[in-house]
Amino acid sequence: MFTKTFAKMAVAVSGVLMLASASHAAFQIVQFSPQPISSGLGEFSWAGNVYTTAPGSTGNGDGNLPIAAQTPGGLEVDTPLTVLAPVGSGEIIDLNGSHFFDVTLSVQGLVGAGATFIPGFGAIQLLTNGSFSFNATNGVPLLTGTLTNNSITVPQGSTSSGYQSATVTYTGGLIWANFLALYGPQAPGSASISMTSLDGPIGIVPAIAFGPTTVLPFDADATGVLDTPFPEPASLSLVGAAGLLALRRRRA
């Protein structure tokens, strides 16, 4: 019974974003991925006590060069919104919306707040509240906000893990200003980041003699999505989803 109870807890925590999405239409504000992709240069790092961005999430100022001439790090950030950013922001606008290159993502305040080991599953690492900012290659803020109800889900013996924030409150940036101008204020959204460890299977040390469960440090490649409730006709949210099919598409 003990194991089954905690297994159910794991499913509930790791699936909170899917449950939230099922209860209302979700508009994906942005999705991000490394561009160009580089081996060995992670986008996120769990240091054993702090979850933060890594060098792969830091732009180097080349976002206005032809895409083929850009070098790691930095992210491609896609939004279905058409954002009129200042010249030099590393932006390409097409029928799918706006695409920003060499974007820097910064995350602050996500400190470990205890982990739970679930036999037969793995571990859930809780995190304190934090904040984030996406900045264009020229430093212009694209999207900022706060992160509440945060956790990392780590299946035992796996190189894959996931970060979830059940409550994302957007506070500023060009992308959010554009959204507000079109649709007005919305309830807080959520964030989900998929990670692949660069260090092999992620180590978990179960609680021993009532000591703490520990998720060992790792660096990871990552892609992610941030959304917001969008209480409009489904056809409009489909427009947003269609505009974000570029996550796995690489531009020449």
List, for residues 134-144, the tens digit of each pLDDT value: 999 999 999 99
Q: Which domain holds residue 67?
A: 2-248
Q: What is the pLDDT of residue 4?
A: 41
Per-residue pLDDT tens digits for 13-29: 444 334 333 345 789 99
Query: If you write DSSP's letter for every residue of the chain in order, what string do you get?
Result: -HHHHHHHHHHHHHTHHHHHHHHS-EEEEEEEEESS--TT--SEEE-SSBEEE-GGGS--S-TTS-GGG--SS-EEEEESS---PPTTS-EEEETTEEEEEEEEEEEE--BEEEEEEETTTEEEEEE--EEEEEE-TTS-EEEEEEEEEEEEEEETT-SEEEEEEEEEEEEESHHHHHHHHHH-----EEEEEEEEESSSSPPEE---TT---EEPPEEEEEEEEEEEE--S-HHHHHHHHHTTGGGG----
pLDDT (mean) for 187-203: 96
Domain count, the chain: 1
pLDDT band at 230 (very low <50, low <70, confident <90, very high): confident
Q: What is the pLDDT of residue 40?
A: 83
pLDDT band at 208 (very low <50, low <70, confident <90, very high): confident
Query: Above 50 in pLDDT, residue 114?
Result: yes
Query: pTM of the prediction?
Result: 0.83
Q: What is the pLDDT of residue 232?
A: 56
Q: What is the mean pLDDT of the chain?
A: 86
pLDDT (mean) for 175-194: 94
